[in-house]
Copies of this chain bind each other. A is one copy, B any other.
Amino acid sequence: MRLGMQAVTIRDKAIVLAEHPDPVPEAGELLVRVRAAGLNGADILQMKGFYPAPPGVPADIPGLEFAGEVVAAGRGAERFEVGDRVMAIVAGGGQAELITVHERVAMPVPEELDWTAAGGVPEVFTTAHDALFTQGGLTTGERLLVHGAAGGVGMAAVQLGVMAGARVTATVRNEQARSQVAALGVNAIAPEGFEDAGPFDVILELVGAPNFAGNLQALAMNGRLCIIGVGAGAKVESFDLRALMGKRARIHGSTLRARSLEEKAACARAVERVVLPGFASGDLSVPVTATFPLGEAPAAYERFQAGGKLGKIVLEV
């Protein structure tokens, strides 16, 4: 094990590469040599100072997901062996050569996935599965609307919706990306006037407050609006509670990052059980737009912020 791992590092609201002490696995933890780590919107927010890492997580190393090889196990960690391929969501620190993770949060990497694809799986598929099914209660035959479907979570949600037998509509701003999303077998539409395409039993909001009024209008009776992304704004200016009451609808808000170990472990077990088999069956794939070596992380962050991407941007370590 080398001393002084390289890691993507936030300095003065910008991305640099820097050396950090190698992490040491505590009881129940794995030490993992990271092979790939996806970028997420929260990394950008953290870089800009809006989304600080929770306690117990390296404050200056971003990265909410990774895939890599187990190189050591802490006391009592027994789920994996040295050399196993694992992937996980973490509250930070994923974009580094080494990371520690509690073994109960780690998932085995399906054989079908190479390192790059695996590095882009945990955050988006866990987020989408939790929002659509655990919270939203999406079930077969229901009508699902995914806002901002070209992004990582959106692409995961669209695929999971199709796999679940839901009737899926997706809004995609970029016209070229829209036709690629449509190729997944869904009704891909422009965001403008989406409310006329309803009603929808479940709406997954990955864009933000500007869609709120239209979402209330487009919800079906007993509809569920799951809000997990607000990049385009979080402030709703007007909310008529009667619209919610009349439809007996509900609104969920959620983030994964601040959840407890137990909650994240429960999410990981759910994803192992019902999502990962979808990669073997061909129902699911990981759309990767671009990859960058760890050393070119600043360029990867620029690419992420440029928008118009379809799926994931992944750092290869």
Q: Which of A102-110, A172-180, A230-238 contacts B (4 or more CB under 8 A)?
A: A230-238
Closest Cβ–Cβ distance, residue A305 to chain B (whole Å)? 20
The answer to whether B241 touches A209 (Cβ under 8 A) is yes
The answer to whether B254 touches A245 (Cβ under 8 A) is yes
Report B-chain residues with C-beta under 8 Å of the C-beta of A196. none
In the complex, what residue of chain B is closest to A258 when comparing beta carbons? B246
Specify the main secondary structure of chain A where it touches its partner.
mixed
Report B-chain residues with C-beta under 8 Å of the C-beta of A271. none
Answer yes or no: A248 CB below 8 A from chain B CBs: yes
Contact of A239 among B228, B239, B248, B255 (CB under 8 A): B239
Answer yes or no: A227 CB below 8 A from chain B CBs: yes
**Measured between alpha carbons, how far is A242 from B114 in the docked complex, in Å?**
35
The answer to whether B253 touches A249 (Cβ under 8 A) is yes
Answer yes or no: A240 CB below 8 A from chain B CBs: yes
The answer to whether B254 touches A251 (Cβ under 8 A) is no
Contact of A238 among B228, B236, B243, B245 (CB under 8 A): B236
The answer to whether B244 touches A253 (Cβ under 8 A) is yes
User: Other CB < 8 Å A-B pairs besides A234-B242, A245-B254, A248-B253, 9 of them?
Assistant: A230-B242, A236-B236, A236-B241, A237-B238, A241-B253, A244-B253, A246-B255, A248-B252, A248-B254
